[in-house]
A and B are shown apart, each in its own frame.
Chain A
Amino acid sequence: MDFFSSLLKPFGKREGIMEEFAPDKTLDARGLSCPMPSVKTALALEGMVPGQVLLVLTDDPVSQKELPLWAEATGNKLLALDREEKTIRIFLRKG
């Protein structure tokens, strides 16, 4: 599966994801639409130390595709992505 189609595949809920990645900070970007989730993520990561993990909560479906691209462009690492009903959880490690 190539990179782009892997982004489009539906994500389900992953058990034990919170314990696995233990986020240092949580950003609730639910209800916001493009481009605010990535703007808020950028601002949230700005105050963090490299290596720390940020959890982004969003319900904007396009963010599921955008935030991984955003992370790639900014040198941050996408750790995991899961979805529970409408809420998409994105784990990012600051690079």
Chain B
Amino acid sequence: MATGLQGAQAEPKKSVTIVLFSGDLDKAIAAFVIATAAASMCMKVNIFFTFWGLNAIKKKSGLIKGQNWMQKMLNIVNYGHARKLALSKLNMMGMGPAMLKTMMSKKRVPSLDEFIKTASALGVGFYACEMSMTVMGLRKEDFIDECRDVIGAVSYISIARDSNVNLFI
């Protein structure tokens, strides 16, 4: 398991914990900009994906997931992965994200996909929320390999209470 960058300082590493609740592209990018910046500063970074935020770490596969008809319907309507997320504003049936992606690549801002790879290379920990996974009928296999573990609220709090920066996005 990657442990992140080793800083020169002797004191214990400072840490950042981010809860990504939102499944919107813009908010996910904001979370990853902060995560990668903090990881580059030799800080320990953990991102806890919950509810709609789980879409950011879903694999690009399978439209129908879940055990019963309600879960199946939810997963069809809520289909998404890192390359297919909507904007929180000005989505315009997908035109907004397409335009934003073009604008970002022109300015050489990484895409969400690249941000996930960079963050993972820098040792950022990705954790999925167990409860929202169960509710939505998702399994660990539905998430990308970078997702380290499936954890609950207690594990999240035990990480978050020792963190210097805590964000809920």
Binding site for B on A (CB under 8 A): 31-36, 38-39, 41-43, 46, 50, 70, 73-76, 94-95
Contact = CB atoms under 8 A, between A and B. Distances in A.
Contacts of B8: 50, 74-76, 94-95
Given A38-B41, A42-B41, A74 B122 contact: no
Contacts of A36: 36, 108-110
Nearest to A94: B8
Contacts, number: 55
Nearest to B41: A73
Nearest to A29: B108
A39 B109 contact: no
A25 to B, nearest CB: 16
Interface in B1-20: 5-9
Given A35-B33, A39-B36, A94-B8, A74 B41 contact: yes
Given A35-B36, A42-B41, A43-B121, 19 more contacts: A31-B108, A33-B107, A34-B37, A35-B33, A35-B40, A38-B41, A39-B36, A39-B37, A39-B39, A41-B40, A43-B122, A46-B6, A70-B40, A74-B5, A74-B9, A74-B42, A76-B8, A94-B8, A95-B8
Contacts of B9: 74-75
Contacts of A35: 33, 36-37, 40
